[in-house]
Structure 1
Amino acid sequence: MPLTHGESIAIPTPDGVADAYVTYPDDGLAHPGVLVVQDGFGVRESLRSLADRLAAHGYTVLLPNAYYRHGPAPVIELPDFIDPVQRPDIFQRVFPMIRELTPELLRSDMRAYLEWLAASPRVTAGKVGLTGYCMGARLAVLAAAMFPDRVAAVAGFHGGPLVTDTPDSPHLVVGNITAELYFAHAGDDHHMTPEHIARFDEALAAAGVRHRTEVYDGARHGYTQADTSDYDQRAAERHYRELLALFDRALHR
C-alpha cells in the first residue's frame, strides 16, 4: 500500500486538550477527512494501524482519544492481547469513562475534532466520513445527527447500544442525519440483538436515511479489533471492503 505519515497531535477543546493520532498519504496532497471513533478499550497500537490502513487508501484520518479528560492514551494499562473474559477488570475501569461521555460532552468534543479536520491543509474541503467501533458506532451516529452539515458517511461495526430506553438513544435522533450509513452487526452480540437491529433499521427507514445493514454471521462483538480475543480476520477484512466502498462513494463527489 502507499506510504503514510502518522503523528501525534493535540486538539484544544473547551475542557482541555485532546491527544490524537493523525495519519495521511505521504504524497503532500490534501485528501478527504475521516474520523475514527474508538472502541471502549481506547486508542492503542491496533487502532492506529487501522487508521493507517484507511489513510493508505487516500484519506486523512483522525483518531482522537475520547478519554482525554483522564489523561493521554493509553488511559489505562492494556495487555498486548485483550481477553475480556480473563480480564474483567478492564471493563470495570473503562465503563465509568464511557458513561461520562454525555451528549453534551460529545457535541463539544466532536465540534473540536471536526473543526480541526476542516482547518487542516491535509484535508480537502467538504464533508467527512465517520467510522465507529463498539461504543464508537453509537457515538458516530449521535455525532452525525448533531452535525449533519459536516458528515457525509457513517459506518458502525459491532456497535452498541444503538437502541435504548433512554432519551439519548441513537435511534431517536436519526431523523437529523443526512449522511449515508452502513452498519455491520456481529452475529453473536448481546449489545445488539435481532430485536435491537430491527428497531434501529425501522427508525432509519422511517426517517428516510440512506442506509444498509448487514449481520456478519458467526462474528462476535469486537470482530474488527486485531488485539482482542473476539477478532475475526474474515469479518475484519469484509469490514474494510465495505467501509472503503462507502467512503469512496460518499467522500469523492
Structure 2
Amino acid sequence: MTAVQGTAVDIPTADGVADAYLVHPADGRPHPGVLFFQDAYGLRPHLRAMADRLAAAGYTVLVPNVFYRAGRAPVVPLGEFIDPSADPTLWERLGPLVGSVGAAEASRDADACLGWLADSPLVDDGPVAVTGYCMGARLALRVAATHPGRVAAAAGFHGGGLATDAPDSPHLGAGNITAELYFGHADQDHSLPEEQIRLLEETLTAAGVRHTCEVYEGARHGYTQADTPAYDREADERHWSALLGLLKRAL
C-alpha cells in the first residue's frame, strides 16, 4: 500500500479560519485533489482514516471542519464509538451545527477550500473531485453546481435532503453541473425518502448530467461510518469501489 503523510492545516475563509486535515502520498509529488466533506459527527479519527485510504490510492485529500464557525474540531467531543441511542442529548448539540451550514456558507467555504487546493504544490493542475457523507453529500452536490469549471467528479453516500421542496434544495443546481456524479443511497434512510431519490434522478437526467444513482439494499443511513452502529462492511466496500472507479474515470 502506498505510504501517506497527513497533517493538520488551516484554511482562511471569508468567515474565519477552517481547521482541516490534509493527507497525500508520501512521495511529495503533486496528485489529483479531492475535497472530502464530513458527516454530521464531524472531523474525527475515523474520517481521517477514510481520507488516508483515499490518499493511498493516489490522491491529495483535504477534509475541512465545516463546523469551524463554532470552533475547532472536535466541536462536539465524541467517544471512540458513537452511539446516539446511548446519548439522548447528542443530536440536541449536533442539530444546530448541521443547520448552520447552508447554501451560502457552503459556497464561501468551497471557494476557500478549492482555492487552497489550487495553490498547493501537492495538488496537480487538473480538475478536482468532491466526495461527501450524510450532510457532506449535500455539500458535494452544491459544490459541483457552484464550481462547474473546477469539479470533474462528485460523489455522495447516505446523503439526506438532496432533493427537497426548499427554495435552495441542492438538486436545483443540476443545470450548472458539468461533473460526473455518483450517489450511493441507503434504502433504510428517513432523511432521503423514495420521492426525493426519484426527484433527484429525474432532475439530473433532465439536466443532462452524467450520473449514477444506486440504492444499497439493506444499508442504513451512515453505512460507511465504522465508528457507529450503522456501519455495514459490505455496503462500505461497495462505496469504496464506486468512489475509486469514479475518481479514476474523472481525474
Whole-Å separation in 2 of the counterparts to 1:105 and 1:215: 29
Whole-Å separation in 1 of the counterparts to 2:18 and 2:172: 28
Matched ranges for 1:60-139 at <5 A: 60-139=60-139
Deviations 1:139-158 (A, max 9, x none): 11011111111100000000
Whole-Å separation in 2 of the counterparts to 1:15 and 1:192: 30
Q: Does 1:57 align with 2:65?
A: no
Matched residue of 1:88: which SS? coil
TM-score by length of 1: 0.98
User: Counterpart in 1 of 2:13?
Assistant: 13
| Aligned-residue CA RMSD (Å) | 0.8
Deviations 1:36-69 (A, max 9, x none): 0000010000000000000000000000000011
Unmatched runs of 5 consecutive residues or more in structure 2: none
Deviations 1:6-54 (A, max 9, x none): 0000111111111000000001211000010000010000000000000
Whole-Å separation in 1 of the counterparts to 2:88 and 2:136: 20
Cα displacement (A) at 1:99: 1.1
Matched residue of 1:85: which SS? helix
Whole-Å separation in 2 of the counterparts to 1:10 and 1:177: 28
Whole-Å separation in 1 of the counterparts to 2:88 and 2:47: 21
Q: Does 1:3 align with 2:14?
A: no
User: Counterpart in 1 of 2:193?
Assistant: 193
User: Counterpart in 2 of 1:167?
Assistant: 167
User: Counterpart in 1 of 2:149?
Assistant: 149
Deviations 1:171-197 (A, max 9, x none): 111111100000000011111122211
Whole-Å separation in 2 of the counterparts to 1:88 and 1:53: 32
Whole-Å separation in 2 of the counterparts to 1:161 and 1:109: 20
Whole-Å separation in 2 of the counterparts to 1:170 and 1:107: 12
Whole-Å separation in 2 of the counterparts to 1:102 and 1:81: 28
Whole-Å separation in 2 of the counterparts to 1:133 and 1:152: 18
User: Counterpart in 2 of 1:207?
Assistant: 207
Matched residue of 2:54: which SS? helix
Whole-Å separation in 2 of the counterparts to 1:163 and 1:124: 33
Deviations 1:59-102 (A, max 9, x none): 00000000011111111111211112222311111111111112
How many residue pairs match? The answer is 251
Letter aligned with residue 225 of structure 1: Q
User: Counterpart in 2 of 1:40?
Assistant: 40
Matched residue of 2:86: which SS? coil
Whole-Å separation in 1 of the counterparts to 2:95 and 2:142: 19
Deviations 1:201-250 (A, max 9, x none): 00000000000011110010000001001000111011011100000000
Whole-Å separation in 2 of the counterparts to 1:119 and 1:49: 24
Letter aligned with residue 18 of structure 1: A
Matched ranges for 1:177-188 at <5 A: 177-188=177-188
Q: Does 1:228 align with 2:228?
A: yes
Cα displacement (A) at 1:165: 1.3
Whole-Å separation in 1 of the counterparts to 2:128 and 2:74: 26
Matched residue of 1:209: which SS? coil
Whole-Å separation in 2 of the counterparts to 1:222 and 1:84: 12
TM-score by length of 2: 0.98
